[in-house]
Amino acid sequence: MNEYLQPASYIDSAHPAVVSFTRTHLKGADQREKAVALYYAVRDAVRYNPFLDFSDRETFRASSVLAADQGFCIGKAALLAASARAAGIPARVGFADVKNHLTSPRLAETMGSDLFVYHGYTDLYVDGKWIKATPAFNLALCQRFRVKPLEFDGREDSIFHPFDEDNRRHMEYLRERGTFADVPVETIQQAFREAYPRFYRLGRELAKESFTPS
């Protein structure tokens, strides 16, 4: 378990900003309650934004997500893992390819696909077992798009719902990519370059725009 408790390059749990964030939001009498508190802090205190510059390695780093006050699924998963480690909870990041049947027109046009390779989640070791937690979509975003917010109780996996509030098909898991002690940024960037050449190429321009879901 030692590697899942130590600071890493992107899961930089010893960074002062991560330590401060963890202390601010850490509540509960045991590891399960603390993991739940950190999950909701990352889910709702950090805005989800998929229009980022994925050629910039800082997009994937926990402390940089805090500095920007926004992140996409991988960055937010790294932040939850870093906060958990700062609280003494073993944590790692996991990845899967998912198909989003409700991809917004803007994102679908920009990416040229509704397939999301290397969707990121956090794997937390609580009460003797690994539990998946997905802090990507903040509550306000879910309410706006009528997507079911992901809850986490520290006992069961929290992964994307297959249907939304109106019973429309939402997320479909297609392929597991495994779990890692740190974010495998080079591998992910290569996969993004191959899957979304235009999106990857325009990353810097897209990142300059203020993202407002519509």
What 124-129 contacts at long range (C-beta under 8 Å, 24+ apart), as own/partner pairs, is: 124/35, 124/80, 124/81, 124/84, 124/89, 124/90, 124/91, 124/154, 125/1, 125/4, 125/89, 125/90, 125/91, 126/31, 126/32, 126/35, 126/89, 126/154, 126/155, 127/31, 127/32, 127/154, 127/155
Q: What is the mean pLDDT of the chain?
A: 90
pTM: 0.90
What's the whole-number mean pLDDT along residues 32-59? Answer: 94
Neighbours of 151 (CB within 10 A): 11
User: Which tokens sit at 173?
Assistant: 């898991």
What is the reported pLDDT for 76? Answer: 98
The tens digit of pLDDT for each residue in 122-158 reads: 999 999 999 999 999 999 888 888 888 899 999 999 9
Residues 131 and 123 sit within 8 Å (Cβ to Cβ): yes
What confidence category does residue 210 fall into, taking pLDDT thresholds of 50, 70 and 90? very low
Those residues with Cβ within 8 angstroms of residue 38's Cβ, 6 or more apart along the chain or in another chain: 22, 25, 26, 80, 83, 84, 87, 89
Q: Which of 102-111, 118-127, 200-209 has the lowest average pLDDT?
A: 200-209
Confidence label for 177 from pLDDT (cuts 50, 70 and 90): very high
The answer on pLDDT for 212 being more than 80 is no
Which of 25-39, 100-114, 195-209 shows the lowest per-residue confidence on average (mean pLDDT)?
195-209
**Cα angle 50-55-59, degrees, rounded to a multiple of 5:** 55
User: What is the pLDDT confidence band of residue 160, given thresholds at 50, 70 and 90?
Assistant: confident
| Mean pLDDT, rounded, for 80-92 | 98
Q: Are 90 and 125 in contact (CB under 8 A)?
A: yes
Q: Which residue has the higher pLDDT, 161 or 185?
A: 185
pLDDT at 64: 98
Token code pair at residue 5: 């408790």
**Mean pLDDT, residues 93-105 taken together:** 86
Which fold would CATH assign to domain 2-205? Answer: C8orf32 fold (3.10.620)
Is the pLDDT confidence value at 105 over 80?
A: no
Inform me whether the pLDDT recorded for 213 exceeds 50.
no
